[in-house]
Structure 1
Amino acid sequence: MAGLGRKEKGQSLRGSRIAIAIVIGVLLGCVFAFLYPHGFFSSDSTASSHRIAKSNLQIDSPPCESAERIKMLKSDIVSLSEKNAELKKQVRELSEQLRLAEQGQDHAQKQVLVLGKQQKAGPPGTVKGLRTNPTVVPDPSVNPRLAKILEDVAVGRELIVALANSNVQSMLEVWFTNIKRVGIPNYLVVALDDHIVEFCKSNNVPVYKRDPDKGIDSVARTGGNHAVSGLKFRILREFLQLGYSVLLSDIDIVYLQNPFDYLYRDSDVESMTDGHNNMTAYGYNDVFDEPAMGWARYAHTMRIWVYNSGFFYIRPTIPSIELLDRVADRLSQQRNSWDQAVFNEEFFFPSHPGYDGLHAAKRTMDFYLFMNSKVLFKTVRKDARLKKLKPVIVHVNYHPDKLPRMKAVVEFYVNGKHDALEPFPEGSDW
């Protein structure tokens, strides 16, 4: 009995130890489960991300503040996108301007950009290039006093302009007397000295005298015909800047009709010619013969007799002003140059290496209507049919005895004296 009791007692003790061990194991498991919820062998990255997430939760802004910041960021992105688009547009525009400049400031391309969008070419025979350049915007600030005079004198923003000093007073009187007789109201004398101012005023002739200019005054007062003629290119610029078309006239011209009734106004410059027939006036193919070249001995050339710089109609366009500037600049540097030669060289010489030609539209006037004195004394007066034609003007440009020939022209065409032109030779005595 005693042995049985000890046995049961030992078994009870072992059962208690096992129960305690189980309890301790459960408790340790709970502790480790709490401290290491992902186990002993979970990756550092997972733990780190957990800690980062926990940290983010601690520092996150309130939901309303986060939404406001997102809204502000979106607004900034939109604003930056718009600025970026504008900068891209400016870069494209600057690139286009640079491209045009590198192409030698191609006038035709710039004209297309100014006048409108580029166009496709039409069928053959329907394509016509631009001939009439747009006029400049008038700028009265250039010369307010002249602007006021032109408002009173000009008709349709155009007028006849002539330069005169005391050396040509007698011819000037014939000049404006016939202008009045024809009934031309829009003309103006640019007086180069005070005597001409008083002379014009006493004859009720519109007159304008420029403000003192040391660079012009000495030539204006004492200069001869060619010297005074060279001044017109500088003086005319202001008329064009003010937005007026000018029919520039030398004094040795007799007006028989109103020239404004015979102008086309489709070019930058419309000029009378020094030519005396269809070929010389309007151009011809002149064949140059060089026998030493054998098979290629004949070289074809294009020729035209010069435009007369003493009578031309000039519109207020950029090419016209550029022409005046070019001629005036060359005449100021080349004192012995003839203004008419320089005028034609700048007008006709094409662009070539080292030189940019003038891009200006031109028209040659009818040489029987706008007649030079070579045509009159060499051809017309000897032809019974041509003698019946009444020209618009006669320019005594080929002869030095200007005043007597001007008076003879008046006698012939105005007073009907049929033999008035006969005493004069075709050319001159020298």
Structure 2
Amino acid sequence: MSWGRRDGSLLKNYGQSLRGSKITITVGIGIFLGCICAFMFSHGFLGSDSQLQERTQTSNITSQQEENNANLRKQVKELTEKLQRAQQETDQAQKQVRVMGEKKKAGPFGMVKSARTNPTVAPDESVNPRLAKLLEGVAVKKELIVTLANSNVKEMLEVWFTSIKRVGITNYLVVALDDEVEDFCKSNKVPVYKRDPDEGIDSIAKTGGSHAVSGLKFRVLREFLQLGYSVLLSDIDIVYLQNPFDHIYRDSDIESMTDGHDNMTAYGYTDVFDEPAMGWSRYAFTMRIWVYNSGFFYIRPTFPAIELLDRVAGRLSRENAWDQAVFNEELFYPSYLRYDGLYASRRTMDFYNFMNSKVLFKTVRHDGRLRKHKPVVVHVNYHPDKLPRMKAVVEFYVNGKQDALAPFSLGSG
């Protein structure tokens, strides 16, 4: 009995101890949770400081999101424009493929001829309605001679258009770069076009020298091509002795006068570079051609031709460069690495018909047989005393004065 009472007492004590432990554990847990809550919400559950902090954080997040959204919209816009340009280029390429026709078999050996004459662009009169209206009355068979002039070259301009009138050419146009030249042309019944004011280039047009004006022509020509016209671009220092349109092939994007003075320099030759240090491989073969003259060329309204104008005008606006050098680099440099060359077809004009002044004063005037040949044009491009040499050309070829060319030196001295 005594053991049973002892056991019951122990159980009773154990139960009381267990209940005490549970209370202790519960209190401990409560204290622990309280500490956590106190740590996490140190400013209170509904405290004003917490609300202000949350609102500030929310405002900062919103501003950042708006900035990110603005940048994203800008990137989307730029990407959309790039895609549109790419689509336009694809459409243009597809149009060219359709124009060129379906695929054909190559055919027998030696009978294959590749296409050189690119299709012309669709005319877009919305580019310049006023110029489009004017060209309808000036151009013949959608082609004409175009020159740019300001009052600095008025005397040479008179020799230029007088020679054109003498030959009987009617499809020519002077792009007047100032009011004085416009009035001068009108008083001499010369077709003239005065461009609308353009703040970006008017200062060059009115006061620029020959090189500055020469660079400007690439921008001006673009509108003519967009309107669907082929242009024979002419500098002012040129005398016309025959109608050039009777001597143009029209089978290439660009048909240009050369600065070459004989068959090799004008049409190309192999030049051997010798480097003795290389031993067995000391001789390297190179291909050479003298540059095209950017003051006299026939250009057709094709995509490669317009791209050429864009490339040259773009580079001249960014670089301090000579327009003729840039013109030839864009025409002849091949594709390499990340550079895409211009795939424009080219033709070199006959240098005895489309004659530069080096050919005339170095070779022709001293050769009895060549003196009898009348060129189509003479371009006084190699000599700075342009006006007296232009007048001498007229005297020699038009008035028959056989010693008219004799007083002039070979070079520019």
Q: Shared topology, TM-score over 0.5? A: yes
Counterpart check, 1:424 vs 2:408: yes
Shift of 1:118: 1.5
SS in 1 for 2:239: strand
> In the alignment, what sits opposite 2:297?
312
Aligned equivalents of 1:355, 1:219: Cα separation in 2: 30
Shift of 1:112: 3.6
TM-score computed with the length of structure 1 as normaliser:
0.74
Counterparts in 2 of 1:251-270, with a 5 A limit? Answer: 251-270=236-255
Larger radius of gyration: 1
AA aligned to 2:313 is A
Counterpart check, 1:243 vs 2:228: yes
Aligned equivalents of 1:212, 1:366: Cα separation in 2: 38
> In the alignment, what sits opposite 1:375?
359
Contact 2:99 2:119 in 1 (8 A): no
Q: Deviations over 1:357-398 (max 9, x none)?
A: 001110000000000000000000000010000000000000
CA pair 108-141 structure 1, distance change in 2 beyond 3 A = closer
> In the alignment, what sits opposite 2:148?
163
**What is the count of residue pairs matched by the alignment?**
328
Q: Give the root-mean-square deviation of aligned CA atoms.
A: 1.8
Contact 1:112 1:118 in 2 (8 A): no
Aligned equivalents of 2:409, 2:197: Cα separation in 1: 42
> In the alignment, what sits opposite 1:138?
123
SS in 1 for 2:152: helix
> In the alignment, what sits opposite 1:220?
205
Shift of 1:354: 1.5
CA pair 206-110 structure 1, distance change in 2 beyond 3 A = closer
SS in 2 for 1:248: strand
Shift of 1:114: 4.5
> In the alignment, what sits opposite 1:90?
none
Counterpart check, 1:293 vs 2:278: yes
> In the alignment, what sits opposite 2:219?
234
Aligned equivalents of 1:365, 1:213: Cα separation in 2: 34
AA aligned to 1:140 is E
Alignment partner of 1:395 out of 368, 371, 379: 379
SS in 2 for 1:381: helix
Aligned equivalents of 1:297, 1:125: Cα separation in 2: 35
> In the alignment, what sits opposite 2:398?
414
Counterpart check, 1:190 vs 2:153: no
SS in 2 for 1:239: helix
Counterparts in 2 of 1:330-349, with a 5 A limit? Answer: 330-334=315-319, 336-349=320-333
AA aligned to 2:365 is R
Shift >6 Å, 4+ stretches: 107-110
Contact 1:244 1:316 in 2 (8 A): yes
Identity of aligned residues (%): 80
Counterpart check, 1:322 vs 2:307: yes
> In the alignment, what sits opposite 2:63?
none
Aligned equivalents of 2:95, 2:138: Cα separation in 1: 34
TM-score computed with the length of structure 2 as normaliser:
0.77
Contact 2:96 2:119 in 1 (8 A): no
AA aligned to 1:421 is L
> In the alignment, what sits opposite 1:359?
343
AA aligned to 1:354 is R
Counterpart check, 1:147 vs 2:132: yes
